[in-house]
Amino acid sequence: MGATIRASTALDAGSSASFLALARAHWKADLSVGLTVAIMGIPQALAYALVAGVPPMYGLYASIVPCLVSAVLGSSNHLVSGPTNTVAMVTLSLILPLSEKYGVQPAAIAVLLSLVVGLIQLGFGLFRLGGVIRYVSNSVIVGFLAGAGVLIAFNQIGEALGYSLTRKGGHFFGTLGDAVTHLNQTSPYAVFLSALTIALVVLLPRIHKRLPASLIAIVVATALNWAWGWSDASKMGDRRVAVISDTGAIQSDLLAMFRVPDLVRKPDLELTRDVFTGALAVALLGLVEAASISRAIASRTGQRLDFNREFAAQGVGKIAGAFATCMPASGSIMRSALCYSSGGKTRAAAAWSAVWTAAVVVLFAPLANLIPKPVLAGLILVVAFSMIDRKRLGMTWRSGQNPRIVVMGTLVATLVLPMETAIFVGTFLSLGITLRVTGRTDLTQLVPRAEGGFEEVPFEKAPPSQVVTVNMEGDLFSAAVEDLDYELLRALTPSTRVVVLRMKRLRAVGSSAMGILEHFHTILRERDVHLVLCGIEEELKQVMTGSGLRMTIGEVNIFYADNRIFQSTELALARAWSIVEMERKRAQGTAKEVPAGDAKLRSVGAIMARRVIRFGYEHQVREAVWLLSEMLKRRRADAPRMLFLQDREGRMAGALSLQSLLGTLVEGLSAEELRTLGQADLAAKMRRAFTTPIGTTSAMDYPRLHPGADVEDAGRIVLEKGVSVLPVCDEEGRIQGLVEPESLLRALAGDRVPTIRTEVPSE
């Protein structure tokens, strides 16, 4: 992650210009969707302000300014920002203790929190640090949401039943105890209103999916409450049902929301410092929410997102919100999903939702102040219940022990610890488990198979061998190498002379690993065992060079990863067996090995290949070219390189190689022509040689052997005459077969060259 500051990331003039163009292109659709989102979002905005413990207008305003700013500057076409349940709950968890500690209004701290969170998120976006959210795993989010849902539900029980908890936002057990002790203060009016709200919110969507159930529930319940006068103090006394305006009336004068935050005009550094720690958790949570929502929708729309730009936009939105009396906002699942499903086309839809919300505030603020708190509490209870995603919890639970530990650990942490801490606890738990799983190097032994390839077996199942090949796989950073040299030593047997380490599948190799390998090398030297390395990738090569290990082990014992699988392993094994052979000879005191072997194999007749292409010497170049071309198409592995010519009696009359045919075709062409002629012209000139008799272009005095000749004679002729293939002819001169380079080498080598798949016979 480079620290290059791209200050234009969030405030690109180009993006603003394109936003206006988009807004104009789809204004009708986006205007309509904006209204839908606003209608559905306003009740939640009020409810989440209640969750956060701030006046309802802070939630409404958070649906206007941060939403508008984030939409204009952001990337996603469907992400709608506003108050969310999780951020609201974490906000409550943060601001209440600080309010008690510093004697400052919770709402003022909430605004400061919005500012600090915004600055953090803007920083993430500008420095392109958005990738940090990768470390907040799905298990952490599932556990956190479930815990938050439980906490939110229990925090609203009091409001739903008509009494106020003395300890809001506290730990689960404290809140539970508080709720139980206040049960006798339950108000039947509040219970009716909250139950009615819950029933309407749950049942109305079953009648029709698109019904704004939350809004209808609020309107109906508020109307009933007003009609029956349950909030009228003169009629109900202490049993009156509390309404929104009791904690802060919503004003229709929107301009009143714009002001410099109190804690910015009169900053308290200690308080700000305390806010910062929690703000980091809120920032991470907000980024995870925004990223997961926008990614989920983008996977359906195909839109490519710029997450760093989105994070910067979220940050700027919160900063702007702090100067507009807003609680911290974030990407809202409900609003965003609704925006997409209702047919929103562009970011303008989210912007229109902010405008519509502002219009509703202006027009209906006096009516909104009449909304009973139990109604909002009922709404929140439904939302809280939905946060406990049983399906995802079950899926995570069934994914294995590690996700289970993370989800339960995060859930419990959320219930018993401050919420902002729970996020970090869950994340570190997830990281710790990941490191435990990955911080390990798997070691197996590679045993060459007789038919080719290798078999991977545990050390204890590998047969003893003078050459041991160890396959290393996994991470080789400091946490993984602790007992690596001890583990490697387990591969050695009393007969081991060379250890080959295959390192192709290693990752994250650090200096600790180099130290361990050097130590292992030293141990082997003390036991007079050699070390050969193979499968070395470029990155590992650089680490080895820097640490000096490359020089210690020696270039001749290091084989680099190549383009063919197991190629470097085969080369390393050849090296290893070569070392074994040299040591064996040294021990015998002989410098030269006398080739042994069956005398019959020493004659060329025993090693020749019978398949020979014979061709009449009266044919033309064209026919030879065609014949060889056809043969090459069919026999790639043992492609013929010579045509042996024969006369009418079948006696060898010459040899025609691919090289001599090519020479015939380009005869008479200058170097300049060969370089510059077009392909068609070159072909035309080459065809001039087509009618040349091949007898005139072949080598008439090509060397030949008798079947009884020694292979040593064949080798001598190859060296003297500069040929690679030798025909074998009988007494009449008829070709019986061919001696090819590989079979000649094999016969000459005898047992002087141990192959990589057989043991060198020990004496």
Q: C-beta of 669: minimal distance to another protein in Å?
A: 7
Helices (H), 465-566: 484-489, 511-526, 538-547, 549-553
277 is a site residue for another protein (CB under 8 A): no
Out of 660, 702, 705, 729, name the contact with another protein by CB under 8 A. Answer: 660
Stretch that binds another protein, among 173-181, 308-316, 455-463, 675-683 (CB under 8 A): 675-683
Give the whole-angstrom CA distance, residue 595 versus residue 600: 14
State how far the Cα of 27 lies from the Cα of 30, in Å rounded to an integer. Answer: 5
466 and 498 in contact (C-beta within 8 Å)? yes
> By C-beta, is 408 or 682 nearer to another protein?
682
Kindly tell me which of 21 and 662 has the beta carbon lying closer to another protein: 662
- From candidates 232, 626, 696, 700, binder to another protein by CB under 8 A: 626
- Counting residues that bind another protein (by CB under 8 A) gives 86
Query: Which residue, 71, 123, 105, 62, is CA-closest to 323?
Result: 62
Compare residues 202 and 749 and give the one whose CB is closer to another protein: 749
Residue 633's CB is within 10 A of a number of other CB atoms, namely 9
- For residues 366-395, which are near another protein according to CB under 8 A? none
- Pair of tokens at residue 212: 């704004």
Residue 538 C-beta: closest distance to another protein, Å: 10
Pairing outcome for strands 454-457 and 441-448: antiparallel
- We find the least distance from the C-beta atom of residue 146 to another protein, in angstroms, to be 54
Among 480, 718, 728, 739, interactor with another protein by CB under 8 A? 718
* Residues composing the chain: 763
Query: Closest distance between another protein and the C-beta of residue 628, in Å?
Result: 7
The reply to whether 746 sits near another protein by the rule CB under 8 A is yes
User: Minimal distance in Å, beta carbon 583 to another protein?
Assistant: 12
Helix (H, G, I), strand (E, B) or coil at 333: helix
Q: What are the strands of the beta sheet with 614-616, ordered from one edge?
A: 614-616, 642-646, 652-657
SS3 assignment, position 409: helix
Stretch 511-570 residues interacting with another protein (CB under 8 A) = 555-556, 559, 562-564, 567, 570
Among the listed ranges 27-35, 43-51, 255-263, 755-763, the one in contact with another protein (CB under 8 A) is: 755-763
Q: Which residues are registered as beta bridge partners of 441? A: 474
Which of these ranges, 177-185, 236-244, 491-499, 739-747, lies near another protein under the rule CB under 8 A? 739-747
The CA distance from 138 to 384, in Å, is 19
Where residue 343 falls (left for φ over 0; alpha for ψ -120 to 50; beta otherwise) is left
Contact positions with another protein (CB under 8 A) in 566-625:
567, 570-571, 574-575, 577-578, 581-582, 585, 591-593, 616, 618-619, 622-623, 625
Q: Which CB atom, from 191 or from 574, has the smaller least distance to another protein?
A: 574
The residue type of 214 is S
* Residues 636-655 close enough to bind another protein by CB under 8 A: 636-639, 641, 648
Q: Which of residues 429-458 bind another protein (CB under 8 A)?
A: 448-452
Q: Which is nearer to another protein, 673 or 759 (CB)?
A: 673
What angle separates helix 85-102 from helix 419-438, to the nearest 10 degrees? 120
Report in angstroms how near the CB of residue 26 gets to another protein at its nearest. 50
- Site residues (CB under 8 A) for another protein, limited to 677-716: 677-679, 682-683, 686-687, 690, 712, 715-716
Q: To the nearest whole angstrom, how small is the minimum distance from the Cβ of residue 624 to another protein? A: 9
Could you tell me where the DSSP H helices lie in 527-620?
538-547, 549-553, 567-588, 604-607
At position 486, the amino acid (one-letter code) is Y
Which residues inside 189-218 make contact with another protein, applying CB under 8 A?
none
User: Is the torsion defined by CA of 519, 525, 526, 527 positive or negative?
Assistant: positive
In the complex, least distance from residue 679 CB atom to another protein, rounded to whole angstroms: 5
CA-based nearest residue to 667, from 643, 702, 696, 647:
696
